[in-house]
Amino acid sequence: MNEYHPALRERERVPGVQGVFIILPAEDVDTAHDLFERWFAQREEVAVVGYGDMDKDADLGYVMVEWYGFAIDPLFLTILDQDDPIDCHNYATYVRGE
């Protein structure tokens, strides 16, 4: 039996870690962090790895989410693109080794 979420049984595994660095209004950071924690609570291959305020622009903050051994969920990126329910100013994806 797959130890990961059932939706991943059909997804191809990838080496290393893929992540998303999300920039959003500072006042929305805690809400986004809590929302992502709830969304991914049952997904051991996904983790919210950081969040906080931007140093240069106090009006902005960030949340970082990483996928371990799987590609970033395309639905998650679509949600960020649509700014609903999160008002995402911008985001960047990245890949790193384990």
The answer to the question of residue 39 being in a domain is yes
Residue 22 pairs with which residues in a beta bridge?
A: 63, 91
Is 62:54 a contact under the CB 8 Å cutoff?
yes
CB 20 within 8 A of CB 76: yes
Specify the CATH number for the domain of residue 81: 3.30.70.260
Helix/strand/coil (H/E/C) assignment for every residue in 43-56: CCCEEEEEEEECCC
Task: Assess if residue 27 is contained within a domain.
Answer: yes
- Is residue 30 assigned to a domain? yes
Cβ of 73: how many Cβ atoms within 10 Å?
A: 22
Q: To the nearest 5 percent, what fractions of the chain are helix, strand and coil? A: 25, 40, 35
Residue 9 resides in a domain: no
pLDDT tens-digit series, residues 14-64: 889 999 999 999 999 999 999 999 999 999 999 999 999 999 999 999 999
Q: Beta partners for 94?
A: 19
> What's the domain count of the chain?
1
| Beta carbons within 8 Å of 72's beta carbon, 6+ residues apart | 18, 19, 20, 93
Domain membership flag for residue 90? yes
Per-residue model confidence as pLDDT tens digits over 3-16: 555 555 567 788 89
Domain that holds residue 78: 14-96
Instruction: Provide the whole-model pTM.
Output: 0.85
